[in-house]
Amino acid sequence: MKKKVKVRYNKPMAEQNYRVFFDEAMNQIHTEYKAEGKENEFILWFKVSYVEDTISEITVSVASEFMRQQMDIRGITSKIEKKIQELTGQSIKLTYIIKNETVKTPTPAATTSSYTEPKQTANDEKTSNSSPVAKKHPQLREDYSFSNFVPGENSIYAYNASLAAAKNPGKAYNPILIYGGVGLGKTHLMQAIGNYIYAEKGDKCKICYISAETFTNEFITAVRTQTTEKFKNKYRKLDVLLLDDIHFLKDKDSTQEELFYTFNALYDRNCQMVFTCDRPINELKFIEERLRTRFSRGLNIDLQPPNYETRRAILEKKKELLLETNQFPASTINRISADVIDYIAKNVQTNVRDLEGCLTKMIGYAELVGKTVTIEIAQQQLRDIFSSPLSGTITVENIQKVVANHYNISMADIKSNKRSTKFVIPRQIAIYISRNLTEYSYPELGTEFGGRDHSTMMHSYEKIADAIKTDSSLDTTIQQLMREIKDYKK
């Protein structure tokens, strides 16, 4: 039987009685994340520093209000509290302060710690803080940085891969193709890679960000003016090529050929290449096979629309950035209540661009009218946006229709108790997609699928989630169905 550790409390604050338990909790969580291959996620979201404690609370500091909110939203707070309770046998509450606030200094005797946060490199520091790089790259937006990108379940893979490529260009992942719908963050991540590398290497690194349309127009001009050698020298001697929207290359055979040779020249020199597209590479039927093969050589990453928690975090981050850049007075931005943020996050399920557009509209209203924006005002001002096709409300019924049509079965079959593989697999796929594209809980989905219980719905979801890890063709089918569902017109 384990001997209980007695803790003696002498002072109400500035003590470090739980410090050893906190350090051990963080070490254990770090080890768990590392074992699961999620160390980057730990480094990103567990940035807390121990300050002091009382009998029932541990106070830690974080870099910003945004980070504090994220720790609650992502369950990090409860994860740390649970681990500390396992170690102490007591329920200890975690409270936060922001680093730029005044905090009491711990007593010298209590400053020794066995836990240290995973160290950042000089590169991380240049891109993780909110200050812009010393010199702006002429083709890149300063606000398109990793620190301004809010990764969620839909984008954490793309975020981590992009960051890894930026830290080790041409070697970690090369090339990278990021694909997905409009406004999901493809260009943001692409330019974040460029900004990161430029912050480290400066002008000695030749970085070019260009859209496929502009690349095509430049090539046409070079052919017309007989300056193709100049064109080749410009692009084949780059260190980093960031080419946006390659789906624009449809039916442009000569440009595709030139890009093929440019790709080979850069790849042979270990130069980093990043491409974006609105669909996966296997659906680019208009791209020459040899070029499509080159795009497939590296890492292909899908960006899906963010879930509710991520949408909420994106809006909070946008408010924070607007305050930092003084685009609007703080008094105006603070007129947007948490309820309005929540209302927008729940109703805009399409993309980041639409989310930010709704928030900007509400801030503009608050500035011009000088009133606090209430739910009623938001409902009135955003009614046209929410009722338009842009809002793209996805229903379980539409998901069932698209999946049933794809597998040549009926809606009744999707909801039935038929146990043949012909019906079970489409039903499980429809449940999996519904769980990912709607805010329905398992019990609510059970009602939509013929009155099934919570455990059955969860089993169906997990069955498909496990299957796509090893079956790339199934994953491709599901991604195709999701795109059809988003474009579905009732």
pLDDT of 329 reads 84
pLDDT of 383 reads 76
C-alpha 3/C-alpha 5 separation (Å) is 6
pLDDT of 331 reads 85
Neighbour-count burial of 34, counting CB atoms closer than 10 A to its CB (0-12 exposed, 13-18 middle, 19+ buried): middle
**Residue 490: pLDDT band with limits 50, 70, 90:** very low
Residue 484 pLDDT greater than 70, yes or no: yes
- The number of C-alpha atoms within 13 Å of 471 and in the hemisphere containing its C-beta is 12
For 291-323, how does the pLDDT look when each residue is reduced to its tens digit (9 = 90+)? 988 988 889 998 888 888 888 889 988 888 888
E-only strand ranges, 135-292:
176-180, 207-211, 240-244, 272-277
In the chain, % of residues over pLDDT 90: 29
Which segment, 25-34, 243-252, 253-262, is predicted with the most confidence on average? 253-262
> How far, in Å, are 229, 312, 388 from residue 360 at the CA level?
46, 14, 18
Preceding omega of 175 cis (within 30 degrees of 0): yes
Mean pLDDT of 346-351: 81
pLDDT of 437 reads 82
pLDDT of 5 reads 36
Residue 257 pLDDT greater than 80, yes or no: yes
Mean pLDDT of 434-444: 81
Residue 247 pLDDT greater than 60, yes or no: yes
In the chain, % of residues over pLDDT 70: 86
pLDDT of 488 reads 66
pLDDT of 387 reads 52
Residue 209 pLDDT greater than 80, yes or no: yes
Mean pLDDT of 56-74: 79
Mean pLDDT of 177-202: 92
- Residue 150 carries which DSSP code? -
**Whether 119 contacts 39, CB under 8 Å:** no
pLDDT of 112 reads 35
C-alpha 439/C-alpha 135 separation (Å) is 43
pLDDT of 115 reads 45
For 85-140, how does the pLDDT look when each residue is reduced to its tens digit (9 = 90+)? 888 888 888 988 876 443 333 333 333 334 444 444 434 434 344 333 447 888 99
Mean of the per-residue pLDDT values of the chain: 82
pLDDT of 489 reads 53
